[in-house]
Structure 1
């Protein structure tokens, strides 16, 4: 039996059990969230985690037998952090899936078009130059605006240079990304050296500043933008065939690609504004999902969102416990895992010929 049949057999079985797989991933996500809340510098039993959460959702439903300190750790510190991780992981995985289709570039991810560079520039301006003059919301607002402005520049330059096809648009994004990154480096060079470490930590990614009041923004972006991407799953399938084939099928490829870029910019900006730059999630997760269930975007998009959420929740848990009491930037964990994954993937594809 050929290698192809050995691969397609299990994949065929997975495709026909998609509802069961999705349900299993939802359960796994819930278990991962509770486990991540339980584990940390101060361990909290799972049953106590459930009791604290239920008591906050339904006051008086559980007799309170735990200290105020543990209540604060579960509800105010860890739970919003873990939920933010799930939202960011799902968002980045969705963006990576969408961009890999419309650019037909297997290395496309949320950072490809300078979106994250723009967010980083906004954060650098706040952390090193203006300060938090709007309170705690200053940083995410500037990061989000930076992401959107960078996207507008990429789209404007692409239209000016008539670079609306996939490859030229990617090159435009890379060029703009270099310019924005250079401006960010200049901002660090001219800023207060004593505050530079805060910028570095943000650029390596982290969920330690998560608060309940922040969660509606990435959640709203994920629901709205994710719904648009999933409704257009068939169009993503058409885009993987090339612009000419997509146009033959009645899809205006250039216009659809631009809309997807803007939607992905909003989704990425809302994610990195609160988490910093987290690498490899949007690049790695779609490959992993396609390896399991094939390339149909009606399956790839929702499963990528679930797997991305699970992965980032678990990665953040590892980042918190690997060198206690220090909180390692989560980007280090995702970069290590992502790099090893791609080396293994290349080796596997080489064996399969």
Structure 2
């Protein structure tokens, strides 16, 4: 507290460390993006990748690819996939930071409120019944809609006497996730072999088949999510003091939680509708950033945006190039990293608190 009774700035790790973190994340993001666009079955020099981008914006410094097939591969296949990976990873990182701030728990992540499993139900419905009323956007649109509805249902069911407690919301999310997973299992059973394979591939997560149209759809939602998240940053810092203390400092806790959950539901539903379920990005990235910079959301949110984008872009680069003529599910790679990290986080929490409670 300051002498005037106002809350002081959230604790951090110093401006030099924060500046170094943002520098490393930005440079890493640029390097990984260029390498991801350059590397593949049809290799393109990194200088030509940069030249292609600069040429499009009217800067004639480096030569773009002379081969029209290379130019087409960059702009029609690789660049949309790289940009979509950055958008999806960034929004998952931001939403993970929001959920952890909203619930006051570093183990929280967007899937807690059922958004991923709800989106999977919509995607499975489209796949099993062969719905195409929106063309190529049918599966993403249904995934977006059911993810949003499922999350709002968790919030409504968890409310009691005008409030939605953290523990009640988490337990309600567990129950709704169980029902959604049962619905997915039933749809897998009801579908034919082709539908089952498509459902399994969608649930494992992939950025294959990315298009500029998908990027144009998700980019505005990501932008709105980031802007709203930054506007909520100060109130999330106050919420970290506890619900009662935050109310005394003028925070409408219920409205804050509702807005946060709606933002997470919209952003994550949009992300997973095109990428499938990608686990642990929203858990791992914000927690690592918090360990470096401290808990202040005005730094945590933009850093999580960059960190999530970097992590998913790097994972997609590995998924595309780990095996020849094979595209590994990206959700599998993030789970392989996130699972051990989650267990380490549990052990660290147990040691620090002296038990599991």
What is the TM-score with the length of structure 2 in the denominator? 0.89
Distance 1:247 1:65 in 2: 59
Question: Once the two structures are superposed, what CA deviation does each residue of 1:132-165 show, in whole Å capped at 9, x if it has no partner?
Answer: 2321111111110111111221122123686601
Separation (CA, whole Å) in 1 of partners of 2:317 and 2:65 = 26
Contact 1:236 1:297 (8 Å CA) reproduced: yes
Instruction: Give the corresponding residue for 2:245.
Output: 245
Work out whether residues 52 and 63 of structure 2, in 8 Å CA contact, stay in contact via their aligned partners in 1: no
C-alpha deviation, 1:246, in angstroms: 1.0
Q: Distance in 1 between matches of 2:53 and 2:88?
A: 22
Residues 47-62 of structure 1 correspond to what in structure 2 (within 5 A)? 47-58=47-58
The 5-angstrom pairing of residues 183-202 of structure 1 reads: 183-202=183-202
Please give the alpha-carbon distance, in whole angstroms, between the structure 1 residues aligned to 2:124 and 2:205.
14
Per-residue displacement from partner, 1:156-181 (whole Å, max 9, x unpaired)?
21236866011111111221111122
1:97/1:301 contact within 8 Å kept: yes
Q: Residue 202 of structure 1 aligns to a residue in which SS?
A: helix
1:74 equivalent to 2:91? Answer no
Q: How many residues end up aligned between the 2 structures?
A: 343
Q: Which residue of 1 aligns with 2:267?
A: 267
Q: Which runs of 5+ in 1 are unaligned?
A: 1-10
The equivalences for 1:231-242 within 5 A come to 231-242=231-242
Structure 2 contact 84–215 (Cα < 8 Å) conserved: yes
The structure-2 alpha-carbon separation of the partners of 1:62 and 1:182, relative to structure 1 and needing over 3 Å to count, comes to same
Give the equivalent residue in structure 1 for 2:83: 83
Give the superposition deviation at 1:351. Answer: 7.6
CA RMSD of aligned residues (A): 2.3
Answer yes or no: is the 8 Å Cα contact 1:119–1:146 preserved in 2.
yes
Contact 1:225 1:263 in 2 (8 A): yes
Query: Relative to structure 1, is the Cα distance of residues 292 and 213 closer, same or farther in structure 2, using a 3 angstrom cutoff?
Result: same
SS in structure 2 at match of 1:324: coil
Change in Cα spacing, 1:60 to 1:134, as seen in structure 2 (3 Å) is farther
Whether the 8 Å contact between 1:119 and 1:143 is mirrored in structure 2 is yes
> Aligned runs of 1:286-325 on 2, under 5 Å?
286-325=286-325
Would you say the 8 A contact 2:188–2:195 is kept in 1?
no
TM-score (norm 1): 0.90
Distance of 2:150 and 2:126 partners within structure 1: 17
- Residues of 2 paired with 1:115 and 1:240: CA distance? 24
Q: Does 1:93 align with 2:93?
A: yes
Q: Which runs of 5+ in 2 are unaligned?
A: 1-10
Query: What residue is the counterpart of 1:4 in the other structure?
Result: none
**Residues 265-299 of structure 1: CA distance to partner in whole angstroms, max 9, x if unpaired?**
00101111111100000011011001111111111
Q: Deviations over 1:107-140 (max 9, x none)?
A: 2111111101111011111111133232111111
- Which deviations, in whole Å up to 9, do the C-alpha atoms of 1:184-216 show, x marking residues without a partner? 211111112222111111111110121001112
Q: Does 2:336 match 1:336? A: yes
Map of 2:8 onto structure 1: none
Going from structure 1 to structure 2, the CA distance change for 1:64 and 1:29 (only over 3 Å counts) comes to: closer
Deviation at 1:98, TM superposition (A): 0.7
- The 3-state SS of whatever aligns with 1:215 is helix
Looking at structure 2, the residues matched to 104 and 285 of structure 1 have their Cα atoms a distance apart, in angstroms, of 16
SS in 1 for 2:180: helix
Q: Which residue is equivalent to 1:138?
A: 138
Distance 1:277 1:340 in 2: 18
Structure 2 CA distance for aligned equivalents of residues 141 and 294 of structure 1? 37
CA distance in 2, matches of 1:36, 1:327: 14
